[in-house]
């Protein structure tokens, strides 16, 4: 059993990390499909708004913020497990948290209607990551599922995900927030913006209305910080616990390999083991000839058998590409336990159905049968 | 249209596309191609990664970085708020300000670009746009702020940026993608969103990493070894799939396509850039004909 198969057997949460465009969503879906085929009840959470995953799963209605069961009837798997899929809606998830922690429904509605809150829920950097972590926490507690597989948002740093609960807590505890709260604590209902130089400055930049919204939000939010902070701590603890496994995904390009190597370092720093490294979309090799041998054949037959020479030239070009890719991924491979590296070749066609995902899963979990 | 005309069509060119499509490569290739035809070029990096400077080292292109927190500090300085600007930027308050008015971090960056554009020091400014799904939000920030901020200098800033967006001689957006199903779908969605909501002129779309070439003749090879036939068949199939995606793109989006060839390396270096820049200039020549 290879490392990634062990992860699927033992983990309760699997997080796929990597740069944008390397195939995180597809990897997460293939892992989930395989886990379902081993009899687990799996939910895969995507953050990718593209319809691709819904289409691949044959869900005509698309994916929503609640899990939808995927019909595995036509899939080439023999399964007693279940596969569910959902797409994270950060705003709805955040609204749910506010309702849960507000002291009264009226207070919750006041917050939900506030323009500053809508901005936090919709646009604050880190909110999407935090809500992904929050959703994962909820699904982990949900008795319907044995395993949660999630792909991380395409943020500038894929590990923002790990820091996100702390980031929001920090935001709420920000000095500016405390400044805004001071008058309320002092019993004054009307905040004298002019008395606070920082607020006055911000008011000059963004305009008074915007600032008034912000102050109204922080006043309504007062008393909820503790609940939010405790929850964020629990979410963070779960992300750092041994039931959560991290799978890195890279494609054979210098920038994504650098990012994956950086992420591996960050994970190890946080004492979080890298369970597996997936190198996706590698140029497949054909036959045993090296690129140089193929080029020599092409040269030798250029005059006498031009059609055959063209075939050798093609083999030489593909071989050179595969060699270049191998050189690029080498540092990442060298730094990883060989058993944890899984290579997935570039397939003939883009993945667009369960069959394609099953193909990918075969490369991830099957015996080494490709590339070298 | 010759390449000088093309590169002179708009002073500010923002290169946008999803993560992983090679945006930085395209930005660098454009900058290099424009410099090669004698233009004074500035390439702008928005995220502080050194990639652009590395790949353009040793060329005539100047490279600079603009980050939101620095741009906000400069902005406050310019508006007589120097005393507090340092404190604001250093204490992380930009996060709070940006939440109060989403897009404010983007608008100060765009404002900075507008400033450079207005100065006229450079014939062409090429911007490696923000990554991932952030590109449309970035471009929409000006319009969004006009709706939420009802007065003050930020509103003026947003209006100035919109004026620049609406003038195709000042600003264009170039979208980058790969010749594959999902990136092409996303390119089409982005193009419509940018045109309808931002009103900025879209330049040609640039498809990166295209494996160009005639189909390899398999039948004529007679008794060639199996792996040769399999390799040729594989490549023909991938090339045909790429061409089908490009055809679908032409069908769905009425913009000129330019393609950059797939290079036999897995990460572009300064040496490879010359070839990509030459490919761009060559295609501009064809556009002229």
What pLDDT score does A184 carry? 47
- Residue from the list B149, B151, B264 with its beta carbon closest to the beta carbon of A324: B264
Average the pLDDT over B239-248 and give the result. Answer: 95
Alpha-carbon span A5 to A34, nearest angstrom: 9
Helix, strand, coil % over all residues of chain A, rounded to 5: 55, 10, 30
CA distance A80 to chain B (A): 32
Alpha-carbon span B73 to B82, nearest angstrom: 8
Average the pLDDT over B197-222 and give the result. Answer: 86
Q: Which range is most confident: A91-105, A151-165, B49-63, B230-244?
A: B230-244
CA-nearest of A153, A89, A151, A154 to A121 is: A89
- B228 neighbors B198 (Cβ within 8 angstroms): no
Q: Is some CB atom of chain A closer than 8 A to the CB atom of B227?
A: yes
Chain A / chain B CB contacts < 8 angstroms: 188
- Are the Cβ atoms of A325 and B266 closer than 8 angstroms? yes
Please say if the pLDDT value at position A213 is more than 60.
yes
- Give the pLDDT band (50/70/90) at residue B142: confident
**β pairing state of B205-210 and B171-177:** parallel
Helix axis angle, B181-193 relative to B226-252, nearest 10°? 10
Q: Is some CB atom of chain A closer than 8 A to the CB atom of B1?
A: no
- Residue from the list B84, B93, B234 with its beta carbon closest to the beta carbon of A176: B93
Query: B91-103 pLDDT, tens per residue?
Result: 566 666 666 666 7
- For residue B261, give Cα distances in angstroms to A241, B15, B26, B181, B208: 46, 18, 11, 18, 7
- A154 neighbors A20 (Cβ within 8 angstroms): yes
- Are the Cβ atoms of A348 and B238 closer than 8 angstroms? yes
**β pairing state of A68-69 and A244-250:** unpaired
| Structure ipTM | 0.83
Average the pLDDT over A257-267 and give the result. Answer: 87
CB within 8 Å of chain A, chain B residues 62-121: 76, 79, 81, 84, 87-88, 91-93, 95-104
Q: Is some CB atom of chain A closer than 8 A to the CB atom of B247?
A: no
Kindly report the three-state secondary structure assignment for every residue of B29-52.
Answer: HHHHHHHHCCCCEEEEECCCCCHH
CB within 8 Å of chain A, chain B residues 166-225: 178, 180-183, 185-186, 216-218, 220-222, 224-225
Residues of chain A in contact with residue B241, where contact means CB-CB under 8 angstroms, are: 348-350
Alpha-carbon span B76 to B92, nearest angstrom: 15
Q: Tokens at residue B5, please?
A: 């005309």
Q: Is A241 helix (H, G, I), strand (E, B) or coil?
A: coil
- Residue from the list B100, B131, B180 with its beta carbon closest to the beta carbon of A206: B100
What pLDDT score does A90 carry? 86
- Residue from the list A125, A155, A206 with its beta carbon closest to the beta carbon of B101: A206
Residues of chain B in contact with residue A288, where contact means CB-CB under 8 angstroms, are: 227
Please say if the pLDDT value at position A35 is more than 60.
yes
CB within 8 Å of chain A, chain B residues 2-61: 18-21, 24, 47, 51
B47 CA to centre of own chain? 13
Alpha-carbon span A66 to A89, nearest angstrom: 9
Residues of chain A in contact with residue B18, where contact means CB-CB under 8 angstroms, are: 20-21, 154
Q: Is some CB atom of chain A closer than 8 A to the CB atom of B270?
A: no
What pLDDT score does A158 carry? 58
Query: A86-145 pLDDT, tens per residue?
Result: 998 888 999 998 999 888 999 999 999 988 888 778 766 677 778 888 899 999 999 999
Average the pLDDT over A213-233 and give the result. Answer: 80
State if pTM tops 0.95. Answer: no
What pLDDT score does B269 carry? 76
Residues 6+ apart with CB under 8 A from A182: none
């Amino acid at each position: 059993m290879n490392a990634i198969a062990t992860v699927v057997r033992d983990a309760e949460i699997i997080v796929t990390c990597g740069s944008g465009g390397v195939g995180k969503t597809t990897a997460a879906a293939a892992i989930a499909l395989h886990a379902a085929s081993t009899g687990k009840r799996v939910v895969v959470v995507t953050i990718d708004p593209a319809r691709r995953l819904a289409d691949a799963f044959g869900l005509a209605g698309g994916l929503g913020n609640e899990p939808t069961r995927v019909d595995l009837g036509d899939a080439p798997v023999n399964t007693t497990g279940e596969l569910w899929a959902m797409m994270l809606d950060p705003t709805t998830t955040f609204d749910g948290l506010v309702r849960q922690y507000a002291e009264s429904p009226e207070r919750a509605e006041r917050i939900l209607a506030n323009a500053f809150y809508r901005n936090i829920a919709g646009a604050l950097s880190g909110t999407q990551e935090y809500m992904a972590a929050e959703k994962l926490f909820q699904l982990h507690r949900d008795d319907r599922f044995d395993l949660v597989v999630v792909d991380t948002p395409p943020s500038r740093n894929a590990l923002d995900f790990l820091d996100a609960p702390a980031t929001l807590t920090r935001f709420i505890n920000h000095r500016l927030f405390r400044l805004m709260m001071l008058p309320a604590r002092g019993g004054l209902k009307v905040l004298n913006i002019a008395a606070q130089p920082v607020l006055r400055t911000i008011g000059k930049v963004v305009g008074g209305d915007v600032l008034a919204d912000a102050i109204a939000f922080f006043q309504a939010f007062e008393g909820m910080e503790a609940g939010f902070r405790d929850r964020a701590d629990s979410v963070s603890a779960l992300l750092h616990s041994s039931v959560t496994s991290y799978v890195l995904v890279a494609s054979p390009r210098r920038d994504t390999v650098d990012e994956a190597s950086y992420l591996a370092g960050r994970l190890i720093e946080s004492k979080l083991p890298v369970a597996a490294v997936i190198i996706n979309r590698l140029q497949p090799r054909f036959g045993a000839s090296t690129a140089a041998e193929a080029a020599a054949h092409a040269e030798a037959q250029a005059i006498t058998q031009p059609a055959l020479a063209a075939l050798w030239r093609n083999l030489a070009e593909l071989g050179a590409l595969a060699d270049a890719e191998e050189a690029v991924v080498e540092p990442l491979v060298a730094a990883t336990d060989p058993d944890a590296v899984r290579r997935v070749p570039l397939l003939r066609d883009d993945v667009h159905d369960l069959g394609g995902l099953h193909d990918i899963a075969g490369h991830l979990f099957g015996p080494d049968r490709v590339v070298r | 249209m010759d390449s000088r005309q093309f590169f002179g069509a708009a002073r500010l060119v923002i290169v946008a596309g999803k993560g992983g499509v090679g945006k930085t490569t395209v930005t660098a290739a454009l900058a290099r191609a424009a410099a090669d035809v004698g233009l004074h070029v500035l390439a702008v990096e928005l995220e502080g990664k050194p990639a652009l400077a590395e790949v353009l080292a040793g060329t005539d292109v100047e490279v600079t970085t603009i980050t939101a927190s620095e741009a906000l500090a400069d902005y406050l300085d310019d508006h007589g708020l120097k005393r507090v600007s340092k404190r604001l930027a250093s204490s992380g308050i930009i996060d709070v300000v940006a939440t109060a008015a989403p897009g404010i971090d983007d608008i100060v960056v765009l404002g900075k670009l507008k400033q450079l554009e207005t100065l006229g020091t450079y014939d062409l400014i090429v911007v490696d746009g923000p990554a991932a799904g952030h590109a449309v939000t970035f471009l929409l920030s000006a319009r969004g702020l006009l709706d939420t901020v009802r007065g003050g200098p930020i509103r003026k800033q947003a209006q100035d940026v919109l004026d620049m967006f609406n003038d195709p001689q000042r600003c264009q957006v170039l979208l980058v993608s790969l010749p594959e199903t999902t990136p092409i779908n996303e390119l089409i969605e982005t193009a419509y969103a940018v045109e309808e909501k931002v009103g900025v002129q879209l330049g040609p779309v640039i498809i990166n990493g295209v494996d160009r070439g005639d189909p390899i003749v398999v039948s004529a090879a007679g008794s060639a070894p199996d792996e040769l036939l399999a390799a040729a068949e594989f490549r023909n199939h991938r090339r045909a799939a790429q061409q089908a995606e490009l055809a679908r793109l032409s069908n769905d989006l009425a913009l000129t396509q330019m393609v950059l060839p797939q290079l036999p390396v897995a990460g572009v270096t300064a040496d490879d850039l010359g070839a990509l820049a030459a490919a761009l200039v060559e295609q501009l020549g064809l556009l002229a004909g």
